[in-house]
Chain A
Amino acid sequence: MRFLLAGLYLYGLFIVQAGILPVGPDFLLLALIVFALHEEKLPSTLLGLFAGLCLDLTAPSHLGVNMFVLSVIGYGVSSIRPLFYRARWHIVIMTVVGLGLKQTIRLITGNGLPQVAPLIVSLVLTLILSPFAEYLVNPLFYPDNFRWQRPQWKSD
């Protein structure tokens, strides 16, 4: 059930990303990384495949590129998550790796190369938002693992 809701949620993010904020942060990638940090490999890979399919449908001649990239990211993040604690800086690192992988594969396959200026804006916004990616998913799907963090003051 949660897997289906996660798919619906990713689809909603896709609508926002493609329809309302075409030059904006890559919400799908951020949400996928957070999902993959909590889910097993198979759901993470399938969620990546579905998110990639949504993105690929906007340019059907490039079908497969985003599907492959996001599936790999979902599988990869889910595979390496036992290696470290879920901290927001780890999400930033994964976002950097994910973005790098995505653009590299796009470049290698020669499919769906975006324009430079929107690409840079999108990359920068995605990186800025990546430390807060947990807020995108966790309050809805993993409330037990999520707590609104307040600043801790040192006591003298």
Chain B
Amino acid sequence: MKRNTLSLRLFLGVTLAALVVGLTLRPKPSLTAPAPSPDRLQISGAGATFPYPIYSKWFDEYHKLHSDIEINYQSIGSGGGIRQLLSGTVDFGASDGPMTDEQLGQAKTKVLHFPTVLGAVVPTVNIPGVTAELNFTPEALAGIFLGKITKWNDPALTGPNPKVKLPAEDIVVVHRSDGSGTTYIWTDYLSKVSDEWKTKVGKNTSVNWPVGLGSKGNEGVTGQVKETPNSIGYVELIYAVQNKLPYGRVKNSSGAFVKADLDAVTAAAAGAAKNMPDDFRVSITNAPGRTAYPISSFTWLLIPAKIDDAAKRKVITDFLQWMMTKGQAYCNDLSYAQLPKPVVTKELKAISQIQ
């Protein structure tokens, strides 16, 4: 009994000491943050992983400007954003696929779409031994994702890439396992360039993929491609860039192989900027233009038109204005293209619709 008592006392003593130390030294949020004022607010949003890097930067910067406001964003995929907004469990949603009429019909109040940035979805690859940038034709991409092109040295791939030695290995396809706007953009593009894809699979935030592994979020797909040799996945540009993954050029509707960058994405939006519909729901994949990158898209914040909480309404409208004007300056560093000026003007007017 003596031995057990000693070890027990030792254990209790250590635990107590650890507790005391931990409690005294732990950060006390209530002291470091300003004293709770009536307008200290936490706003919750959820949705697309496509713009998550720029959104998290924005919310961080906005918090620095207004230390009593915290906007917490859950990057759970566009499908999740739409769903959470419709169930009312978040204050705003975010999606790279605009809400369908059916979904809008399910909402209790009208939902407004506000474009935030332009981005590109790129085919990112991990082929051991291949460092060159690959050229992808629309037929090749559709074929790979339909499961018809199964090896890297298929003629559809070696044709546009004569100088690259592609291995005779199986292609590992990686797609999204969650409801994703990035998937929406990708399948929207594939539906436009491949009739077989359009009838067999269709475009949506979540589809019945013919082949491939599923990963959660842009983050998951990037991670998966990074870990799996001979794989290809589709991700938002910044994810490939930040993780130093090679991504290919895609042939656009004018026949040029274009690499995704800010200019190419902005070029894709040029046409839409002039003819933007009032509800801002527009698709710019496979856009015309010699320098346009064919898999570009707007991404939207989904804001309810009627916000009862006056404090929240003020913060949201204020944030939107900041985002469209000063916030755009942060885009370029994170490889997102800024909103075209005509679109911003139109959006600023639309903010007044939020009551």
Whether chain B is bound by chain A comes out as no
Residues of chain B having any CB pair with chain A under 8 Å: none
Residues of chain A having any CB pair with chain B under 8 Å: none
